[in-house]
């Protein structure tokens, strides 16, 4: 997997944003549209603030979520709240292109899969899925030991159990595998051990199960020491 290593989190955010902007322009030129799915957590927000500074035709870019926490609208726990703050509200993105995970609905997996299909076709193919990496090797909300890891027949599912206190809605491995490209965004020394296992495609961690042929990893030097280059 191609590595792009940067001295610190700020440089990483700027570089990853520039790369996503480049992929977006290429997709817009090639197919007239760009479908991006963004993970949650905390690392993506600085990158999204940087992405907001790039001149892109957002009227042709569909913004999806990789995963979301079952928490009230507007709460700080919701990844969508941070997506709004970092990117959506500052740019005034068109509502028709915004695809928030409907975690307030019991039928959220079916509803979101329906939205993916209505927007992208069947099966839905995302142009780019941005993934993070947890210190336990999870990615999206595909967490160790959860039955969601084994879901093969749908694109969206609930975690069977709460994770870090909240129930999660997540894209499944088949949906992620179908994406044209995957961009890993990883920062901090705490992720170093899992970066090593990810790069080794260690299938004993969820992240290791994501195909690497169309993936690239953007990391800071704390998470990805040069020795892993
Ligand atoms: C979430 C994320 C999650 C995240 C990892 C890494 O909603 O929590 O989607 O999978 O990507 O936990 O998060 P950080 O990069 O912010 O540490």
Which domains does the chain possess?
A: 2-219 (3.40.50.1360)
pLDDT digits (tens, 9 = 90+) for 89-107: 999 999 999 999 999 998 9
Phi, psi of 217 (to 5 degrees): -115, 125
pLDDT digits (tens, 9 = 90+) for 31-63: 999 999 999 999 999 999 999 999 999 999 999
Closest C-alpha to 20, from 59, 58, 47: 47
State in Å: Cα 131 to ligand 1 middle. Answer: 8
State in Å: Cα 29 to ligand 1 middle. Answer: 31
Give the model's pLDDT for residue 229: 56
Instruction: List, in sequence order, every residue forming a beta bridge with 121; answer none if it has no partner.
Output: none
State in Å: Cα 223 to ligand 1 middle. Answer: 14
Q: Ligand 1 pocket by C-beta < 6 Å: which residues?
A: 39-43, 66-67, 79, 132-134, 138-141
Confidence category of residue 75, pLDDT binned at 50, 70, 90: very high
Confidence category of residue 192, pLDDT binned at 50, 70, 90: very high
- Given a cut of 60, whether residue 198 has pLDDT beyond it is yes
- Given a cut of 90, whether residue 140 has pLDDT beyond it is yes
Mutate to test the pocket of ligand 1, among 12, 39, 65, 129 (most ligand atoms within 8 A of CB): 39
**211 is written with which tokens?**
């195909």
For atom 11 of ligand 1, the residue with the nearest CA is 132
The helix or strand, by DSSP H or E, that contains position 51, with its residue range, turns out to be helix 43-51
Helix then strand then coil, % of the chain, to nearest 5: 40, 20, 40
pTM of the shown model? 0.97
- Given a cut of 90, whether residue 225 has pLDDT beyond it is no
Give the model's pLDDT for residue 42: 96
């Amino acid at each position: 997997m191609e590595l792009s290593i940067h001295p610190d989190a700020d440089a990483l955010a700027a570089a990853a944003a520039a790369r996503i902007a480049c992929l977006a322009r290429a997709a817009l030129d090639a197919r007239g549209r760009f479908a991006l799915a963004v993970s949650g957590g905390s690392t993506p927000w600085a990158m999204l603030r940087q992405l907001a500074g790039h001149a892109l035709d957002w009227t042709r870019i569909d913004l999806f979520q990789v995963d979301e926490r079952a928490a009230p609208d507007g709460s700080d726990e919701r990844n969508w709240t941070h997506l709004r703050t970092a990117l959506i509200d500052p740019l005034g993105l068109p509502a028709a292109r915004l695809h928030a995970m409907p975690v307030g609905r019991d039928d959220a997996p079916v509803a979101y899969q329906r939205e993916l299909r209505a927007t992208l076709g069947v099966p839905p193919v995302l142009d780019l899925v941005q993934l993070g990496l947890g210190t336990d090797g999870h990615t999206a909300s595909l967490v160790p030991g959860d039955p969601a890891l084994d879901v093969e027949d749908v694109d969206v599912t609930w975690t069977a159990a709460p994770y870090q206190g909240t129930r999660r809605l997540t894209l499944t491995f088949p949906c992620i595998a179908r994406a044209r490209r995957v961009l890993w965004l990883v920062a901090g020394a705490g992720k170093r051990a899992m970066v090593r296992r990810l790069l080794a495609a260690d299938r004993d961690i969820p992240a290791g199960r994501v195909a690497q042929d169309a993936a690239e990893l953007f990391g800071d030097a704390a998470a990805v020491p040069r020795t892993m280059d």
